[in-house]
Structure 1
Amino acid sequence: MNYIKEFKAAAAQSRKLGLSEIAVGETATVLDQAVLNALEETGHIPFRQRAVQGLNVNFGMFHMLAKKFHIPGGVLTMGNVAMDGEMRFPVTPAHFRKMVENESGEDALGTYHLWTTLPGGFILDHVLPSILAGDGLIEVDEAMPAERYLYGPADELPHGITYHPMVAGLEFLIASGTVDREAMEYLMGEKFPKQYGG
């Protein structure tokens, strides 16, 4: 199954959880290398620490992409990631449903991965290289900004990496009790339905 098809299934799963309609544009948004480098330079969490601060790093980069660099159409996406077919996180769509039902998302951090999906099925992830380098699976030259993140078409990534979205959108983080609604509204400058974190 290709990434866009999996993303559409994740969007359907998000609707089943009572979250808003989420879609990603079919026409690719290709980011300029200067924007990617500038985004990377805004990150304040050292490369090696990113592996254990996935939410802070990838949500922070998503926020900067949308609010500082004004790149439209990105969707914060949650799910699993595989390398050479081996899944890295012990999570299924049922886990996300339970996180919403029990508002246990804060306790479940680290059981799933999150990243930004850009139009056309491009991935932007500032955490996975730190995880894989820490596990000795890839080598990263930390002096090279472009090696500290993963960016490209989801179906053409290096190292046998594949992303498997299961839910999508900021509302999941609110509905699951991971991030307070008022804090999200402050950060993103938009209103979210009162039923989340209300």
Structure 2
Amino acid sequence: MSYLKEFKAAASRTKKLNLGEFAVAETPFPIDQTILNAVEETGHIPFTERAGKAMSVNFGMFHMLSKKFHIPGGIITMGNVSINNEMRLPVTPTHFKKMIKNKTGEEEMGSYHLWTTLPGGIILDHVMPSALHKDGIMTVNEAIPAERFLHGQADELPHGLTYHPMILGLEFFIASETIDREAMEYLMGEKFPKQYE
């Protein structure tokens, strides 16, 4: 199944859970490589320490992309990633429903992966290259910002990578009690981004 089909299924699932309505534009929105490199260089967690820290790294990068660099159309996406058809994490759509029902988001942050979906089904992920480098699946030159993140068409990624979106958007973090609404409103509101000025 193509990434955009899986994304649409995740959007439908998210809507049924009353967590918002999402659609990604099917035409890619090109982002200049210098902006992508600038987002990467703004990250505060060193490359070698990113593996397994998708929430703190990719959420932070999503925030900078939307609030500092004002790149439109990005959607925070949660799910699983497979390498050569082998899933890296044990999460399923039912898992996300249970996290919402049981309010266990904070405890279960490491059970799923998150990344940014950009228009056209483009993936932006600042964690997976660190994990793959650590596992010896790929070699990364840490001195080159563009090698420290993954940016590409989801259906054409290297290393046998396939992303599987299962739930979308920031509201999931609130509903699962990963983060409270007041903190999310502060982070994504107009006051917090002034740090970037």
TM-score norm. by structure 2 comes to: 0.94
RMSD, aligned α-carbons: 0.9
Aligned to 2:14: 14
Which structure 1 residue ranges, 4+ long, deviate > 4 Å from structure 2?
A: none
Matched, 1:40 2:40: yes
Secondary structure of the structure 2 residue equivalent to 1:77: strand
Aligned to 1:194: none
Aligned to 2:4: 4
Matched, 1:79 2:45: no
Secondary structure of the structure 2 residue equivalent to 1:107: coil
Secondary structure of the structure 2 residue equivalent to 1:110: helix
Identical aligned pairs, as a percentage? 68
Shift, 1:121, TM fit: 0.3
Question: Would the aligned equivalents of 1:76 and 1:170 in 2 still touch at CA under 8 Å?
Answer: yes
What does 1:1-198 align with in structure 2 at a 5 Å threshold? 1-189=1-189
CA distance in 2, matches of 1:31, 1:151: 10
Question: Would the aligned equivalents of 1:100 and 1:172 in 2 still touch at CA under 8 Å?
Answer: yes
Secondary structure of the structure 2 residue equivalent to 1:173: helix
Gaps of 5+ in 1: 191-198
Provide Cα deviations, 1:60-99, integer angstroms capped at 9, x if missing partner. 0000000000001100000000111111010000000000
Q: How many residues align?
A: 190
TM-score norm. by structure 1 comes to: 0.94
Secondary structure of the structure 2 residue equivalent to 1:124: strand
CA distance in 2, matches of 1:164, 1:29: 21
Aligned to 2:193: none
Provide Cα deviations, 1:95-135, integer angstroms capped at 9, x if missing partner. 00000001101111111000000011000000001111111
Gaps of 5+ in 2: 191-197
Shift, 1:52, TM fit: 3.0
